[in-house]
Amino acid sequence: MSKTILITGGAGFVGSCLGIRLKSLYPPYKIIALDNLKRRGSELNLKRLRESGVEFFHGDIRSPEDFNVLPKIDVIIEASAEASVLAGIDAAPDYVVNTNLGGTINCLNFALKNKSDLIFLSTSRVYPIEKIEEIEFEETETRFNISSTQKIKGVSDQGINENFSLEGYRSIYGATKLCSELLIQEYRQFYGLKTIINRCGVLTGAWQMGKADQGIVVLWAARHFWNQNLSYFGYGGRGKQVRDILHINDLYRLIDYQIHKIDSLNGQIFNVGGGLGTSVSLCELTKYCQEITGEKVPIEAVPENRPADIRIYVSDNSKITKATGWRPEIGVREILEDIYIWIKDHQSSLQYVLK
Ligand SMILES: NC(=O)c1ccc[n+]([C@@H]2O[C@H](COP(=O)([O-])OP(=O)(O)OC[C@H]3O[C@@H](n4cnc5c(N)ncnc54)[C@H](O)[C@@H]3O)[C@@H](O)[C@H]2O)c1
């Protein structure tokens, strides 16, 4: 049966990649991307969307009226956001709150009216900073690793699972996402919406408009490509902090499954990330970038932490793997090669965003 799918933030990195792939694998589906093009570089995705048959609506999720022009929708993928963890910390919080929380409420109300299912792109940043910093770790030559014995619940050497504490501050960005999660659960319980929440770790791949506060893997690759300076911020300035990274095509396989199996996953919250297998520290990332680009760039050590920094985050995918069989397949080197080839092939159009 054909479906009409709305992707909010549909011109962004995640939204555009999901939309284009959905349209290519399910040609009869109507895929609509709604975006206000706030993110620098999202405008570069408009041509890709058009060429692949995804319909673009220039709209703002903060405005309920912008939903009025849309047709009946079967599934909403809420992938719009001010996605920077520093948003609202170094400037006024209005935009991040109104988009990430107010906008999600508008999506929920629109979903109610249409009886649409809702898949929400949440974040690992819902977990509080101070608790994450309590995780026991070991230090190696190139990285911090999560220790196998831990005093707090919801963490093991496989990463952080959904039982991790939610007590504490987490950044304005993380808080807006957690507030949205809470409302999504209420709309499911009391209004009967079908919903899935994915708490994603670092997502990356070609077409991510990487910058220092969001899209660090692409930023790292781009700085090597154009031979520009980088810095290791925080934790002594040695680049040992660790994240798991998930390629957008791996995320796509999961979202495709969730769209088509929402009845069996309704109401669930999942941690979703690359997991231990694709975890990488900054200095390990540097080594991959050096090997792939052939460039070695100056990297300044800045020992002091910045607000909202965390030492280590690795998603424990056990719950989502048990529920769906899904697991990431694309490794760190493959991810970086994908990004490198994309930058090389599109360098003239990308340099005003990435350089
Ligand atoms: N990329 C990651 O590492 C990551 C990790 C965890 C969660 N997420 C979540 O995944 C989703 C997609 O992130 P992304 O990486 O594609 O970010 P992105 O910035 O590339 O895309 C977000 C899109 O939303 C649009 N947007 C912003 N404000 C809007 C508004 N008021 N109305 C309409 N559109 C608006 C932007 O223009 C942009 O195109 C976000 O919800 C983000 O919080 C991303």
For the chain, the average pLDDT equals 97
Residue 65: φ, ψ to 5°: -65, -25
What is the pTM for the complete model shown? 0.98
Can you tell me the distance from the alpha carbon of 256 to that of 275, in angstroms, rounded to the nearest whole number? Answer: 20
Quick one: tokens of 54? 């995804």
pLDDT at 300 over 90: yes
pLDDT on residue 246: 98
Give the residue, by CA position, lying nearest to ligand 1 atom 38: 12
Instruction: Say whether pLDDT at 196 is over 90.
Output: yes
> Ligand 1: which atom is nearest the Cα of residue 62?
31
Q: CA 202 from chain center: how many Å?
A: 6
- The H or E element spanning position 244 is strand 242-247
Per-residue confidence (pLDDT) for residue 46, from 0 to 100: 98
- Expressed in angstroms and rounded, the spacing between residue 114 Cα and the centre of ligand 1 is 23
**Residue 56 confidence (pLDDT):** 98
Structure-block tokens of residue 349:
């159009």
Per residue in 59-91, pLDDT (tens digit) is 999 999 999 999 999 999 999 999 999 999 988
| 58 Cα to the center of ligand 1, angstroms | 15
φ/ψ bin of 2: left (φ > 0), alpha (ψ from -120 to 50), beta (otherwise): beta
What are the tokens at 84?
Answer: 């920077």
The Å distance, Cα 240 to ligand 1 centre, comes to 27
CA–centroid distance, 55 to ligand 1, in Å, is 18
| Residue matched to tokens 């090669």 | 337
Alpha-carbon distance of 77 to 70, in angstroms, equals 14
User: Considering only CA atoms, which residue is closest to atom 7 of ligand 1?
Assistant: 123
What pLDDT is recorded for position 293? Answer: 97
* Atom number of ligand 1 nearest to Cα 122: 7
Mutate to test the pocket of ligand 1, among 66, 80, 86 (most ligand atoms within 8 A of CB): 80
Helix (H, G, I), strand (E, B) or coil at 229: coil
> Among 324, 179, 170, which residue's Cα sits nearest to residue 251?
324
Determine the atom of ligand 1 nearest the C-alpha atom of 38: 37
> Taking 90 as the threshold, does the pLDDT of residue 200 lie above it?
yes
Pocket residue to mutate for ligand 1, from 77, 203, 249, 269, most atoms within 8 A of Cβ: 203
Place 1 in a pLDDT band, splitting at 50, 70 and 90.
confident
Q: Which of 329, 327, 318, 268 is nearest to 161 (CA)?
A: 318
Q: Is 54 exposed, middle or buried (0-12, 13-18, 19+ CB in 10 A)?
A: buried
pLDDT digits (tens, 9 = 90+) for 125-161: 999 999 999 999 999 999 999 999 999 999 999 999 9
Distance 139 CA to ligand 1 centre (A): 33
Residue 21 CB partners (closer than 8 Å, separation 6+)? 249, 252, 256
